[in-house]
């Protein structure tokens, strides 16, 4: 599965329930200045590939520099942050959940890949 870089306009459509396509969007929020974000990129790409056959699941990456207030609007602190946004056909309000902050962060990528996989598996049920 390809990871698409999502722009502010399209991310806001998803967050504000302005899309009619049901599914789950996994979004990695990153900064160009963040070494953890750069190190996480390859692992995130591998995760996306592992879910290639999963219909209704989309992987995105969003640069927080494109919308400096996005972290406070979605309630997260710092990058990298991974969020799942569930869009349902029957609801205009998407369900937004943040991947848990690791108890012992990986010093190179912040997240542990297995923990991110567990988060995704839980969100796509």
**Mean pLDDT, rounded, of the chain:** 94
What pLDDT does residue 34 have?
98
pLDDT of the residue at 90: 74
Domains of the chain listed by start with CATH number: 3-123 (3.40.30.10)
Please, is 62 exposed, middle or buried when counting C-beta atoms within 10 Å of its C-beta (0-12, 13-18, 19+)? buried
In 9-66, where do the E strands start and end?
23-30, 57-63
pLDDT mean for each 10 residues of the chain (125 residues): 94 91 95 98 96 94 97 96 91 91 96 96 88
Residue with tokens 């927080």: 64
């Amino acid at each position: 599965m390809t990871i698409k870089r999502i722009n502010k306009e399209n991310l806001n459509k998803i967050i504000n329930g302005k899309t009619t396509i049901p599914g789950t969007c996994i979004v990695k929020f990153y900064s160009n200045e963040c070494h953890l974000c750069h190190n996480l990129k390859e692992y995130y790409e591998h995760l996306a590939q592992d879910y290639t056959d999963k219909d209704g699941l989309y992987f995105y990456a969003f640069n927080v520099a494109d919308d400096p207030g996005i972290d406070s609007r979605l309630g997260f602190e710092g990058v990298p942050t991974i969020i799942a946004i569930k869009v349902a056909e029957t609801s205009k309000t998407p369900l937004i959940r943040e991947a848990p902050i690791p108890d012992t962060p990986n010093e190179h990528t912040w997240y542990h890949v297995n923990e991110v996989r567990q988060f995704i598996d839980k969100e796509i049920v």
